[in-house]
Amino acid sequence: MHIHILGICGTFMGGIAAIAKEAGHQVTGCDQNVYPPMSTQLESQGIELISGFSADQIRLRPDIFVIGNVVARGNPLMEAILNRNLPYSSGPQWLSENILSNRWVLAVAGTHGKTTTTSMLAWILEYAGLHPGFLIGGIPQNFATSARIGFNLPEDVRTVSPFFVIEADEYDTAFFDKRSKFIHYRPRVAILNNLEFDHADIFQDVIAIQRQFHHFVRIVPSEGLVIANGADIHLKQVLEQGCWTPVEKFGVSDGWHVKHDNHAAEIFYQQQSQGLLQWDLLGEHNRLNALAAIAAARYAGVSVGVAMEALSQFKNVKRRMEIRGKVNGVTIYDDFAHHPTAIQTTVSGLRDHVGQSRIIAVLEPRSNTMKMGIWKDKLASSLIQADVVFCYSRDAGWVDGALAELGAKARCYADMSMLIAAITEIAVPGDHVLIMSNGGFGGIHEKLMDTLSIYRGSSA
């Protein structure tokens, strides 16, 4: 089968492309922004990329066009597909029908922590020898790729593993299918990490998101398992609408919970100790992610002991508190946080790690919800544990006022070069610069490291 993917350079659609290619399909694709690293990754897999959405791409005559949710009516290629009544499908639907059918799907949903928890679970199953397939919305450092089918070993007898771990996003499927993506996955195990209002561009309020989560809960079989954050009131309300599947809770004393001390975390199920997890990940949010992954893996037949052994070797995901470099004593971190809750937990985790050392938080409000100013009343409090706060306000003019309560420690710049210069001027050895954005942030990490090297080198 030849599939042509519209919007191929997104993490999710790029993952579908990689899986389709691995399954033996001919894969081509197009996107408005075809550039590294995704373009390089796809081209290395022998996938032909076309820049833009020109209507003449229908001449490729694929068996089906797979449509990403970045594509809207008015897109010239999409209009040509509709006008000629050519076959098309959404990415989640194609994945469900061609890859997930007859698989034991373990799906990870929630406003925060999906990528990390999905990566943890996939790694636990891999470590246990189950060779799962997976599709992750980031680059897990324990694997060489963000997506794969999942073949059992040995390679000369290629059988598909029954297990498939997927990051289950609540964002809508496509312009022609406004259901959340995760409705298509038909999971046997569903992890519900947390639920907050987000994606204000498509959801009117948190009730609208809860409705989609309940649709998700409705399709988990009675012999499956729902693993839910027991401390999350919004998830509690979802489950109270009806649940026909056994539920294991985490983050509460009557479910999976943890007692931690520095780099050791004792894992409990209800009141029974399951053993000690030794690892280096920061923050309470990652301990909760680990609990959910351990519970899901146990249901798949992996002992808690083996799961903890795997997690002791877990390398996290790129852009999750990833150290990008250290220049003249200044440590530069990259993190994907773009919601006040994620920002707060990220800063708090770093604070626990560095103690009294100075944290310089640098934020780009880039998501649609951020740009709309939905979180303006919560942003300042999410950054309170940072010593200095810089914000790139080019696309979010409301930020200056929102951060006013932080006083002199908050500074906003609409110009990238001025922002980098200001950070460079105040950063001193021993500082920790935490850069947070759900985009590339204009390559600020490398630019900042370059200027720190020159500035501190010349002033030393």
Lowest mean pLDDT among 15-19, 143-147, 349-353, 375-379: 375-379
Give residue 5's pLDDT: 97
**Dist CA 350 CA 333 (whole Å):** 10
| Architecture field, domain 102-311 | 3-Layer(aba) Sandwich (3.40)
With b for 16 or more beta-carbon neighbours within 10 A and e for fewer, the 57-83 pattern comes to bbeeebebbbbbbbbeeebebbebbee
Whether residue 37 has pLDDT greater than 70:
no
Beta-carbon count within 10 A of 379 CB: 27
Structure tokens at 125: 């199953």
**Which amino acid is residue 384, in one-letter code?**
I
Whether residue 155 has pLDDT greater than 70:
no
CA atoms within 13 A on the CB side of 339: 14
Give residue 219's pLDDT: 97
Q: Backbone phi, then psi, for 165, in 5-degree steps?
A: -105, 130
Lowest mean pLDDT among 51-60, 113-122, 256-265, 411-420: 256-265
**Dist CA 3 CA 61 (whole Å):** 9
Q: Backbone phi, then psi, for 28, in 5-degree steps?
A: -130, 170
**Dist CA 259 CA 275 (whole Å):** 11
Give residue 456's pLDDT: 57
Give residue 65's pLDDT: 98
Q: Do the strands 48-51 and 26-31 form a parallel or antiparallel pair, or are they unpaired?
A: parallel
Q: Which residue has the higher pLDDT, 42 or 110?
A: 110
Query: Taking residues 103-129, what's their average pLDDT?
Result: 94
Give residue 370's pLDDT: 72
Name the 3-class secondary structure at 312. coil
Give residue 35's pLDDT: 63
Beta bridge partners of 423: none
Domain 2-91, CATH among 2.60.40.10, 2.50.20.10, 3.40.50.80, 3.40.50.720: 3.40.50.720
For residues 366 and 438, is the Cβ–Cβ distance under 8 A? yes
Whether residue 164 has pLDDT greater than 50:
yes
The pLDDT confidence band at residue 332, using thresholds 50, 70 and 90, is very high
**Which amino acid is residue 394, in one-letter code?**
R
Lowest mean pLDDT among 105-114, 292-301, 315-324: 315-324
Averaged pLDDT of the chain: 89
**Dist CA 94 CA 88 (whole Å):** 9
Lowest mean pLDDT among 108-112, 163-167, 399-403, 432-436: 399-403
For residues 200 and 172, is the Cβ–Cβ distance under 8 A? no
Which fold does the domain 322-459 belong to in CATH? Protein-Tyrosine Phosphatase; Chain A (3.90.190)
Give residue 110's pLDDT: 93
**Dist CA 402 CA 381 (whole Å):** 10
pLDDT tens digit sequence for 182-235: 999 999 999 999 998 877 678 888 999 999 999 999 999 999 999 999 999 999
The pLDDT confidence band at residue 460, using thresholds 50, 70 and 90, is very low
% of the chain beyond a pLDDT of 70:
94
All structural domains of the chain with their residue ranges: 2-91, 102-311, 322-459
Give residue 184's pLDDT: 97
> What is the helix (H) or strand (E) element at residue 307, kind and residue range?
helix 304-311
Query: Residue 266 contacts by C-beta under 8 Å, 6 or more apart in sequence?
Result: 258, 259, 260, 273, 275, 276, 277
With b for 16 or more beta-carbon neighbours within 10 A and e for fewer, the 347-373 pattern comes to bbbbbeebeeebbbbbbbbbbebbbeb
Burial of 145 (C-beta count, 10 Å sphere; 0-12/13-18/19+): middle
**Dist CA 235 CA 377 (whole Å):** 23
% of the chain beyond a pLDDT of 90:
58
CA atoms within 13 A on the CB side of 398: 15
Query: Taking residues 266-295, what's their average pLDDT?
Result: 88
Give residue 154's pLDDT: 64
Give residue 262's pLDDT: 63
Whether residue 458 has pLDDT greater than 80:
no
Burial of 236 (C-beta count, 10 Å sphere; 0-12/13-18/19+): middle
Q: Do the strands 272-278 and 264-269 form a parallel or antiparallel pair, or are they unpaired?
A: antiparallel
**Dist CA 148 CA 165 (whole Å):** 10
